[in-house]
């Protein structure tokens, strides 16, 4: 049996060598809210770093996303500044200027060029940034940057999250210790590509920008692009990956494959935390579709099931209403023969070769009472497979989002 080379460690984005972070309170959100009032974060690579990013595909993009895309085109960046409270989206020309001021001020205080600094924002669409508070917050965050600041930074980027999402792994390559760390936020308005989420991942390995971009896209595909809470796409979604080479190793060949596995682990854990802590969520749901004509079609079916409000409500009520699952699959637009389908819900077989299977409602209800619920749909129509992670739809989600603005 092959030994697992990856070891879980603490520290989040500051676990890799050469990274510092800070999370401070500057009055953007209530002191009694998530993160203990922390509402602005700065992450810094103390040395030069390559950087790659993946962003929302929404046609309505926030100003920070547009600035990030411009600055990251070089494949290099050393810092990112993140505010909560306002998405800085649909804020007119002043919003563009405000995002640039955030980059300029952070760069000046860190002794960097503006194009080495990225900007991310999260919060309500429409309100302009309170730049006085944000500028004071940036100054405070830069003063408090620390190699132990990962936790504070993770707390500072939270909005409706109930806890900070962090993950980090350590492994050895070429006799060198390599680390990958990350933090993320997101609980509602979650659906690819990607979600109302921000994620920041760091590594002390050295990778050229082209390889870093490829690795990030692969990791995002099976993590942040394989989750959904409510089928809603945000204007600010951003995932950034920094590599500074502080570990003293440049990755290529088989080493690059091992790095990809580690990156997938960190991204996957952060993505699952987002779903587990979805707004009002009481269930973590895995939708596994097998035997589809292709992987892409399997993903399309899995997403249709995961986004179905009726399916999510049934699982919240621990009701084995399997008809909703088949109905959602059939509405996905993918051609398959329902007469060949097998379905298991929470480990209980419901359908075999298109025919209902007798099962105990009490047993099914008990199985659905678990925190984690798996849906397995096998179409017997090909070799395509896909998994999408989602959560249930509860009364709390509806109440929260009905009153979000007020």
Q: Per residue in 157-173, pLDDT tens?
A: 998 777 889 999 999 99
**pLDDT value for 211:** 96
Q: Per residue in 209-260, pLDDT tens?
A: 999 999 999 999 888 888 875 555 678 989 999 999 999 999 988 899 999 9
Out of 56, 84, 122, 196, pick the active-site residue: 196
Nearest to 320 by CA among 363, 364, 375: 364
Q: Per residue in 78-119, pLDDT tens?
A: 999 999 989 999 999 999 999 999 999 999 999 999 999 999
Cis check: omega of the bond before 194, within 30 degrees of 0: yes
Q: Per residue in 22-41, pLDDT tens?
A: 999 999 987 766 677 899 99
**pLDDT value for 87:** 92
- Average pLDDT for the chain: 90
The full 3-state SS of 231-254, as one line of letters, equals CCCCCCCEEEEEECCCCCCECCCH
Nearest to 104 by CA among 127, 71, 55: 71
Pairing of strands 348-352, 342-345: antiparallel
Provide the Cα torsion 39, 85, 225, 241; round to 10°. Answer: -40
Nearest to 141 by CA among 165, 116, 105, 114: 105
Nearest to 303 by CA among 380, 190, 211, 398: 190
Check: CB of residue 238 under 8 Å from CB of residue 55.
yes
Residue 228 designated active-site: no
Backbone angles phi, psi at 162, to 5 degrees: -95, -20
Which contacts (CB < 8 Å, 24+ apart) does range 363-371 have?
364/320, 365/318, 365/319, 365/320, 368/315, 368/318, 368/319, 368/320, 369/318, 370/346, 371/282, 371/283, 371/284
**pLDDT value for 39:** 95
Domain borders along the chain are 7-276, 284-402
How far, in Å, CA of 51 to CA of 240, rounded? 7
Does domain 284-402 fall under CATH 3.40.50.10490? My reply is no
Answer yes or no: is pLDDT of 332 > 50: yes
Cis check: omega of the bond before 120, within 30 degrees of 0: no
**pLDDT value for 1:** 45
3-state secondary structure of 258: helix
Check: CB of residue 168 under 8 Å from CB of residue 8.
yes
**pLDDT value for 171:** 96
Answer yes or no: is pLDDT of 191 > 60: no
How far, in Å, CA of 339 to CA of 334, rounded? 15
Does domain 7-276 fall under CATH 3.60.70.12? My reply is yes
**pLDDT value for 338:** 94
**pLDDT value for 229:** 58
How far, in Å, CA of 39 to CA of 121, rounded? 10
**In the β-sheet with 19-24, what is the strand arrangement from edge to edge?**
19-24, 40-45, 79-83, 117-121
What value, to the nearest 5°, has the Cα angle with vertex 176 and ends 173 and 177? Answer: 90
């Amino acid at each position: 049996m092959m030994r697992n080379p990856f070891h879980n460690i603490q520290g989040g984005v500051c676990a890799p060598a050469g990274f510092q972070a800070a999370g401070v309170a500057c009055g953007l959100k209530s002191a009694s809210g998530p993160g203990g009032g922390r509402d602005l974060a700065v992450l810094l690579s103390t040395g030069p770093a390559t950087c790659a990013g993946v962003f929302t595909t929404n046609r309505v993009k926030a100003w920070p996303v547009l600035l990030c895309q411009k600055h990251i085109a070089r494949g290099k960046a050393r810092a990112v500044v993140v505010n909560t409270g306002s998405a800085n989206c649909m804020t007119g020309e002043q919003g563009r200027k405000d995002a640039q001021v955030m980059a300029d001020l952070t760069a000046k205080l860190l002794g960097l060029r503006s194009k080495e600094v990225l900007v991310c924002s999260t919060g309500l669409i429409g309100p302009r940034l309170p730049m006085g508070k944000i500028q004071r917050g940036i100054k405070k965050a830069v003063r408090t940057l620390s190699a132990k600041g990962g936790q504070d930074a993770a707390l500072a980027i939270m909005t409706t999250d109930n806890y900070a999402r962090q993950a980090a792994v350590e492994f050895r390559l070429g006799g060198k210790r390599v680390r990958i760390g990350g933090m993320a936020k997101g609980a509602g308005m979650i659906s690819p590509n990607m979600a109302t989420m921000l994620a920041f991942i760091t590594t002390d390995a050295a990778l050229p920008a082209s390889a870093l971009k490829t690795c990030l896209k692969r990791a995002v595909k099976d993590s942040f692009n394989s989750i959904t809470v409510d089928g809603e796409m945000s204007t600010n979604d951003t995932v950034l990956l920094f590599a500074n080479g502080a570990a003293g190793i440049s990755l290529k060949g088989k080493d690059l494959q091992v790095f990809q596995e580690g990156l997938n682990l960190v991204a996957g854990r952060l993505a699952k935390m987002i779903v587990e802590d979805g707004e009002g969520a009481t269930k973590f749901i895995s939708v596994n579709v097998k035997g589809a004509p292709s992987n892409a079609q399997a993903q399309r079916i899995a997403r249709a099931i995961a986004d179905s409000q009726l399916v999510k409500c049934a699982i919240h009520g621990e009701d084995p209403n399997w008809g909703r699952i088949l109905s959602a699959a059939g509405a996905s637009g993918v051609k398959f023969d329902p007469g060949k389908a097998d379905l298991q819900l929470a480990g209980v077989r419901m359908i075999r070769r298109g025919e209902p299977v007798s099962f105990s409602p009490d047993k099914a209800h008990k199985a659905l009472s678990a925190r984690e619920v798996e849906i397995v749909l096998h179409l017997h129509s090909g070799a395509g497979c896909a998994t999408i992670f989602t959560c249930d739809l509860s009364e709390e989600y509806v109440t929260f989002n009905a009153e979000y603005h007020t």
